[in-house]
């Protein structure tokens, strides 16, 4: 039986896949590909954060901390200890998951502003540690990260590849890789949402009292989703490190955390496709506004404010509602 | 003889106010047991204590021979306790049927692995869960709303939906807090039938309700609270003729 949810997920995944694989038709230089790759990696991070914020109704203002930990774990293990990329990513994600669980248990008892402050602090602490552990992380100067390798095969922005007879340069290959990663990230997130676990998570948001009386151990589920979203962030941090080839503590910083949460809110909390749109818009805006030079930040802020005032549900849900209403009107007019 | 729920000299104080004071009673399995009393008598507080949302100041509640003092609401749910609320607690971010499926939370065996990769075992469980939820929605009379968003449903339908969610857990005892509040006469008559059907299936029903006609018609026993204390306890016939109750209600 195809229920409403399953139809929606299939539709969303297909649309996303079509967009992702059609996009190269409009990208005509390595800079565009790099931007698109960054977008895909960040979007996958935000899809994970949306599980926590949009679906379970909790907040994290320190998620870049987990992103940064993943990036640095990968950086340190691959460059200093000669690990291969996949083990570094997986072990990093597991360690970050454990850390998130340990930190999450006590702080997720907090609500609202207090939870915001606590998660903000988690992010700050991680950023400070990365800044200060000079011997390991290179401190504020950052550190280089080698290219992504699997079984000796290397994915580098400067390489050239052959995929099913297509000649690809490094940027194009990275983009395709990131696009597939994003699709997988979305697929996993959708599976989680449309399941008993997902209902329990959403009930924590919808009515915590109701959740508890039907038997949901709300503390456990909040920790679970915190861990899952931290693992998303850590894994994507690892990929980001490989892709950029160089990382600084800024990847774990406050600005990045706020950027992530803004993408979720702007795109549409609780809408997986929405937050991807949020990521795309917020990565694109600075490029588009670059022509305005010193007014860039002002315009950036103004656009955010106006969107929130006139589209409080976020970009995509608002657009979907408007389209739905129009279609209904049309159907009504014809009848 | 062992009662399903035994409440022993229960006390709940909020600061200096004793919302519930020295309340004792017991509920037999299969009964419809109602709690009545004027506004502020402590009925909802009593329900919150029984369902574990509040911790008693003194006294204890025994469910099937086990003290519930240390149990969280979700652990009580595991032991067959379910409830609805006077202020409905519906998850407005889900569809109607998802709310009912949520009620089956404890019946479902899923882990992160089967969930993330959507393995066949999960799909089978979900299909069965959805079918059962649809049955229950039919049973309470909102079978037309399966995939409607909860936020788009009427008040009366949501009230029934909340009952369906509580029933989804196959509870031993279901606590209904003012299910008829805000319903019209037709809806109340339908509710009475529904409560009877639930009781006929062997589920114990505890009811807080102001609608006397409904309560007197349906209850096996009643507990009358006034200012947090027990004013009277007995069958509807005994309560109707109890001079204290008449005085409290009619101001004699």
Span B118-153, pLDDT tens digits: 999 899 999 999 999 999 999 999 999 999 999 999
Residue A1 or residue B221, greater confidence: B221
pLDDT digit string (tens) for B38-62?
888 899 999 999 999 999 999 999 9
Residue B192 is assigned to a structural domain of this protein: no
Among B170, B193, B216, the domain boundary falls at: B170
Q: For chain B, what is the HEC assignment? A: CCCCEEEEEEEEEECCEEEEEEEEEEECCCCEEEEECCCCCCHHHHHHHHCCCCCCCEEEEEECCEECCCCCHHHHHHCCEEECCCCCCCCCCCEHHHHHHHHCHHHCCCCHHHHHCCCHHHHHHHHHHHHHHHHHHHHHCCHHHCCCEHHHCCHHHHHHHHHHHHHHCCCCEEEEECCCCCCCHHHHHHHHHHHHHHHHCCCEEEEECCCHHHHHHHCCEEEEEECCEEEEEECHHHHHCCHHHHHHHHCC
Reported as a pLDDT band with limits 50, 70 and 90, residue A335 is very low
Q: How far is CA B71 from the centre of its chain?
A: 17
Q: What does CATH list as the number for A4-295?
A: 1.10.3470
B87: domain CATH number?
3.40.50.300
The pLDDT of A282-286, averaged and rounded, is 89
Same domain, B89 and B76: no
At residue A154, does pLDDT exceed 50? yes
Residue B8 is assigned to a structural domain of this protein: yes
Residue B249 or residue A25, greater confidence: A25
Contact at CB, B105 and A218, closer than 8 angstroms: no
Same domain, B70 and B95: no
Residues of A in contact with B76 (CB under 8 A): 213
B51, B103, B118: residue with CB nearest A191? B118
At residue B223, does pLDDT exceed 90? yes
Reported as a pLDDT band with limits 50, 70 and 90, residue B69 is confident
Nearest CA distance, A277 vs chain B (angstrom) = 21
Contact at CB, B89 and A3, closer than 8 angstroms: no
Residue B74 backbone class (left: φ over 0; alpha: ψ -120 to 50; beta: rest): alpha
Separation between Cα atoms, residue B24 and residue A263, nearest integer Å: 55
Residues of B in contact with A198 (CB under 8 A): 115
Same domain, B63 and B141: no
What kind and span of H or E run contains A153? Answer: strand A153-155
pLDDT digit string (tens) for B163-199?
999 999 999 999 999 999 888 899 899 999 999 999 9
Nearest-by-CA chain B residue for A200:
B102
pLDDT digit string (tens) for A42-74?
999 999 999 999 999 999 999 999 999 999 999
Contact at CB, A213 and B82, closer than 8 angstroms: yes
pLDDT at A19: 96
A218-227, A280-289, A321-330 — which is least confidently predicted?
A321-330
Residue B156 is assigned to a structural domain of this protein: yes
At residue B30, does pLDDT exceed 80? yes
Q: Which residues of B92-122 are buried (b: 16+ CB within 10 A; e: fewer)?
A: ebbbbbbbbbbbbbbbbebeeebbbebeeeb
Separation between Cα atoms, residue B68 and residue B76, nearest integer Å: 8
Residue B186 is assigned to a structural domain of this protein: no
Residue B225 is assigned to a structural domain of this protein: yes
Paired residues of B82 in beta bridges: B174
At residue A333, does pLDDT exceed 80? no
Reported as a pLDDT band with limits 50, 70 and 90, residue A157 is confident
Same domain, B72 and B86: no
Residue B138 is assigned to a structural domain of this protein: yes
Which of A215, A217, A220, A232 is most worth mutating to test chain B (most B CB atoms within 10 A of its CB)? Answer: A215
ipTM: 0.89
pLDDT digit string (tens) for A80-121?
999 999 999 999 999 999 999 999 999 999 998 999 999 999
Query: For residues B209 and B178, is the Cβ–Cβ distance under 8 A?
Result: yes
Separation between Cα atoms, residue B141 and residue B191, nearest integer Å: 10
Residue A51 vs residues A60, A85, A275, B123, B174: alpha-carbon distances, Å: 11, 26, 11, 21, 32
Residue A198's nearest CA partner among A27, A8, A50 is A50
Residues of A in contact with B106 (CB under 8 A): 214-215
Separation between Cα atoms, residue B73 and residue B89, nearest integer Å: 14
Contact at CB, B89 and A209, closer than 8 angstroms: yes
Q: Which domain holds residue B133?
A: 81-170
Q: What is the dihedral of CA B114, B120, B126, B130, to 10 degrees?
A: 170
Reported as a pLDDT band with limits 50, 70 and 90, residue A332 is low
pLDDT digit string (tens) for A195-231?
999 999 999 999 999 999 999 999 999 999 999 999 9
pLDDT at A34: 94
Provide the number of structural domains found in chain B: 2
pLDDT at A169: 87
Residue B221 is assigned to a structural domain of this protein: yes
pLDDT at A289: 84
Reported as a pLDDT band with limits 50, 70 and 90, residue B1 is very low
Residue B191 is assigned to a structural domain of this protein: no
Q: What is the dihedral of CA A67, A73, A74, A80, to 10 degrees?
A: 150
């Amino acid at each position: 039986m195809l229920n409403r949810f399953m139809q929606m997920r299939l539709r969303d995944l297909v649309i996303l896949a079509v967009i992702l694989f059609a996009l190269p038709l409009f990208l005509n230089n390595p800079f565009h590909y790099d931007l698109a790759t960054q977008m895909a990696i960040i979007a996958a991070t935000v899809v994970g954060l949306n599980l926590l914020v949009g679906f379970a109704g909790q907040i994290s203002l320190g998620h870049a901390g987990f992103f940064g930990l993943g990036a640095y774990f990968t950086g340190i293990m691959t460059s200093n200890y000669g690990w291969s990329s996949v083990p570094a990513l997986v072990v990093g994600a597991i360690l970050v998951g454990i850390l998130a669980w340990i930190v999450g248990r006590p702080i997720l008892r907090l609500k609202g502003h207090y939870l915001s402050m606590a998660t903000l602090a988690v992010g700050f602490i991680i950023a400070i540690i990365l800044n200060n552990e000079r011997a390991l992380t290179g401190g504020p100067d950052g550190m280089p990260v080698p290219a992504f390798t699997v079984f000796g095969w290397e994915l580098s922005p400067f390489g050239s590849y052959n995929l099913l007879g297509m000649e690809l340069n490094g940027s194009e290959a990275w983009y395709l890789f990131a696009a597939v990663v994003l699709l997988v990230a979305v697929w996993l997130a959708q599976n989680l949402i449309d399941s008993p676990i997902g209902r329990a998570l959403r009930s924590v948001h919808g009515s915590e009292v109701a959740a508890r009386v039907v038997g949901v151990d709300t503390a456990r589920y909040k920790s679970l989703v915190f861990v899952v979203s931290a693992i998303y962030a850590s894994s994507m941090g690892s990929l980001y490190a490989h892709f950029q080839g160089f990382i600084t503590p800024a990847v774990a910083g406050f600005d990045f955390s706020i950027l992530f949460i803004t993408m979720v809110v702007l795109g549409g909390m609780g809408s997986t496709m929405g937050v991807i749109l949020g990521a795309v818009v917020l990565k694109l805006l600075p490029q588009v506004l670059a022509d305005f030079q010193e007014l860039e930040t002002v315009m950036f802020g103004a656009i955010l404010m106006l969107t929130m005032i006139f589209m409080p549900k976020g970009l995509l849900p608002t657009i979907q509602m408007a389209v739905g209403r129009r279609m209904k009107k049309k159907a009504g007019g014809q009848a | 003889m062992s009662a399903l729920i035994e409440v022993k000299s229960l006390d709940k104080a909020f600061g200096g106010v004793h919302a519930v004071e020295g309340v004792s009673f017991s509920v037999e399995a299969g009964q419809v047991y109602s709690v009545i009393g004027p506004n502020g008598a402590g009925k909802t507080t009593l329900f919150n204590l029984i369902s574990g949302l509040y911790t008693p100041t003194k006294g204890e509640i025994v469910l099937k021979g086990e003290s519930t003092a240390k149990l969280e609401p979700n652990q009580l749910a595991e032991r067959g306790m379910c409830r609805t609320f006077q202020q409905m607690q519906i998850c407005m971010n889900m569809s109607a049927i998802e709310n009912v499926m949520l009620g089956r939370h404890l019946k479902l065996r899923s882990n992160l692995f089967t969930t993330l990769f959507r393995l066949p075992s999960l799909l089978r469980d979900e299909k069965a869960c959805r079918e059962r939820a649809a049955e229950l929605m039919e049973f309470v009379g909102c079978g037309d709303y399966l995939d409607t968003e909860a936020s788009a449903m009427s008040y009366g339908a949501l009230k029934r939906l909340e009952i369906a969610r509580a029933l989804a857990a196959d509870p031993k005892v279901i606590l209904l807090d003012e299910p008829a509040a805000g319903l019209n006469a037709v809806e109340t008559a339908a509710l009475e039938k529904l409560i009877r059907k639930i009781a006929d299936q062997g589920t114990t029903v505890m009811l807080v309700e102001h609608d006397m006609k409904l309560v007197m018609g349906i209850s096996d026993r009643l507990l009358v609270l006034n200012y947090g204390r027990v004013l009277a306890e007995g069958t509807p016939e005994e309560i109707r003729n109890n001079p204290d109750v008449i005085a409290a209600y009619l101001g004699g």
